[in-house]
Amino acid sequence: MSSRGPLRTALVVGAARSGVALAQHLTRFGTNVLVVDRKPQSELRDSIAHMPKHGVTFQLGGYDARVLDGISIVFASPGVPWDSELLNEARARGIPVSSEIEQFLEMSGGIVVGITGTNGKTTTTALAGDVLKAGGLDVVVGGNIGDTVLDRLPEIGPETWVVLELSSFQLESIERPKLHVGVILNITPDHLDRHGTLERYTELKARAVEDADYAVLNSRCRGGTTWKTPSPRPRWGASRDSAMRRSTRRSAALRASSTGWSSSGSGQASVGTTTRRRPTPTRAASR
């Protein structure tokens, strides 16, 4: 199922959309799932109706650390603070803590574009998906935009472009997201009640580009300091790298002036103050 191998029993904290996707995914691999939520069952009827009928048990209306007994791994929904008492107790017991989006990135074989920022994430994610579709590409759009993606893994092949809106809550749950293209639109103070400081919030946003092969950065981020991302490192197999080149060649939409992109022919393109490398890698074969 993942690099962690088969699981016996998983705890899913949060019974909303992310929890449903996790329960559906985990039970497909024969994992028993315990779903907990502080909300009562009366407020979670819609979610429960979409849960698998077998392999899932619930504890709703509240929980404590006893739900960790016998658990192999914990998956937390984005709305659960990453430093919550329950998650910290799991770590103290040596139980791995993960999330729907991290599980997806571990297992996805597609070409993943991750878009984050304080403002404009949803609009930009939807627009990027539409542009890629207009270029004739196979595209899946999801993440914080409201559509889960873990339950769509069977649809995703090596030529599928996956465009994800990534919130700071989601990035917090992925220590080193492996994205092909990472995008940071802008950063202004937000969610400080959860993250504490602007510096911490900024660090979380930066995860979108720190290990990405290509980065789209607003030069006005960080008070005018242009962010830099490491040089691309080989991490794809030859077949996926070839699929990337074929997909990019077919995508006239990426080069069309109607999208607002302008090109100098040097492998760089710009949108206002944002620059990126055009995703046509020539890396050697090698997450």
Co-location of 202 and 255 in the same domain? yes
Say what the pLDDT of residue 257 is.
30
Domain count, the chain: 2
Instruction: Kindly state whether residue 30 falls inside one of the protein's structural domains.
Output: yes
CA 278 to chain centre: 21
Asked if 182 and 230 count as a contact pair (C-beta separation under 8 A), the reply is no
Co-location of 31 and 48 in the same domain? yes
Q: How far is CA 72 from CA 104, 111, 225, in A?
A: 18, 30, 43
Instruction: Kindly state whether residue 190 falls inside one of the protein's structural domains.
Output: yes
| Contact residues for 90 (Cβ-Cβ < 8 A; gap 6+) | 11, 68, 71, 74, 96, 97
Instruction: Kindly state whether residue 282 falls inside one of the protein's structural domains.
Output: no
Co-location of 108 and 53 in the same domain? no
The CATH number assigned to the domain holding 62 equals: 3.40.50.720
Co-location of 266 and 209 in the same domain? yes
Helix or strand (DSSP H, E) at 216:
strand 214-218
Co-location of 87 and 112 in the same domain? no
Co-location of 147 and 213 in the same domain? yes
Which mean pLDDT values do the consecutive 10-residue runs of the chain (287 residues) have? 60 94 93 96 92 94 96 93 95 96 93 94 95 97 89 93 94 89 89 83 90 85 44 44 46 34 31 38 33
Co-location of 108 and 141 in the same domain? yes
Instruction: Kindly state whether residue 2 falls inside one of the protein's structural domains.
Output: no
Say what the pLDDT of residue 177 is.
86
Q: Indicate the residue among 30, 63, 98 that finishes a domain.
A: 98
Co-location of 44 and 112 in the same domain? no
For residues 79 and 133, what is the distance between their CA atoms, to the nearest angstrom?
Answer: 31
Say what the pLDDT of residue 94 is.
97
Instruction: Kindly state whether residue 286 falls inside one of the protein's structural domains.
Output: no
Say what the pLDDT of residue 107 is.
92
Q: Indicate the residue among 78, 98, 118 that finishes a domain.
A: 98
For residues 227 and 220, what is the distance between their CA atoms, to the nearest angstrom?
Answer: 9
Q: Indicate the residue among 98, 116, 143 that finishes a domain.
A: 98
Instruction: Kindly state whether residue 176 falls inside one of the protein's structural domains.
Output: yes
Say what the pLDDT of residue 7 is.
53
Co-location of 108 and 77 in the same domain? no
Say what the pLDDT of residue 99 is.
94
The domain in which residue 34 lies consists of 9-98
Asked if 188 and 221 count as a contact pair (C-beta separation under 8 A), the reply is no
Whether the pTM exceeds 0.85: the reply is no
Say what the pLDDT of residue 115 is.
96
Co-location of 168 and 221 in the same domain? yes
Co-location of 187 and 230 in the same domain? yes
Co-location of 120 and 56 in the same domain? no
